[in-house]
Amino acid sequence: MRIGILTGGGDCQGINAVIRAAVKKAEDYGWDVIGIRYGWLGLLDGLFVPLKYEELDDIIGIGGTILGTSRVNPLRRKDGVKKIKENLKKMKIDAILAIGGDDTLSVAYELSKEGIPVVGAPKTIDNDLAATEYTFGFFTAVEIGTQAIDRILTTAKSHERVFVVEVMGRYAGWIALYSGLAGGAHYIVIPEQPLDLDAICKLIDERWKRGKKYAVIVVAEGVQIGEHELLYVKEVVDEFGNIKVGGIAHILADEIHRRTGKETRAVVLGHLMRGGSPIAFDRILATRFGLMAIELIKKGEFGKMPALTKFKIEPVPLSKAIAEMKTVPKELYDIAKTFFY
């Protein structure tokens, strides 16, 4: 048997660990493995490279993806599905392992309905995929955010300033909540809850009155300020219909300064959160996903992906994974609100 592996969408820590585990398990079964370069683009343009565990045994701690990635949507390309089927036949690839987030897995789901044997592996630092408790890359991003907040706190105290730290996550506040809570942020703003500028400014004023003349506010990149969405959303739309978000921290910092008179700075962590080596948890989770994905192929259980459920790795339908975005429930945000002080 010969399988193809691709990685699509944004990169994150742990992708290479999935590739490594999948190749090892496939070779244990005597299968050949082909790497598909640059996500779905590679299947359209026939960009392939052989993968051997002998050459991959030490990539578990390397960030990014050795296969490259793109945000190409083959379903929006002329004869996209037809070209994919032709290239799979040409390369004698019997099944595909697609490693990605909701966009990549939505394509995988549609291709599975077209009769193409495909399984997925859930990947996103945003942790917004339904059907799995966590995705690999998330906790590494949280660790990066937490360390950044630790560092910002020291300079905030030294200069008696307010800092607004913007983290990734698009329209889900998981990274903001976890890193903000772990880093001891004084206020956390997430897309799932209404932005209350009055409450933020009141908190800052009260801190100054108590002699605590500094504050760190964590904000998720997908937060909107009233009707001013287009002030920070760049009108760039990819092939999946996603707009490019970022920059909310600068607007929020300017507004806080205008209302309170306190010197306020913005720090945008951005793609720093995607880079670097995965922490141990993400390496292990990614490894387990990679192994389970090959098991799904072996059993012929296509149109599914491995998911973390109560510490177990279990198969779930791709349709369930992409059915809705997993957002932060109010009860978790209420825990963070305990420390808004």
By annotation, the residues acting in catalysis are 126
Record the tokens describing residue 88, joined without a space: 């799979």
Q: State the CB neighbour count (10 A cutoff) for residue 77.
A: 16
CA distance 56 to 76: 33
Contacts of residue 59, Cβ cutoff 8 Å, sequence gap at least 6: 16, 17, 19, 20, 66
Record the tokens describing residue 279, joined without a space: 């922490």
- Strand pairing category for 215-220 and 32-36: unpaired
Sheet of strand 95-100, all strands in order from the earlier edge strand to the far edge = 48-51, 32-36, 2-7, 95-100, 118-122
Q: State the CB neighbour count (10 A cutoff) for residue 106.
A: 19
Distance of CA 80 to the CA centre of its chain: 26
Q: Helical H runs in 74-173? A: 80-90, 102-113, 138-159
Nearest alpha-carbon partner for 276 in 134, 142, 158: 142
Contacts of residue 207, Cβ cutoff 8 Å, sequence gap at least 6: 186, 213, 214, 215, 341
CA distance 150 to 153: 5
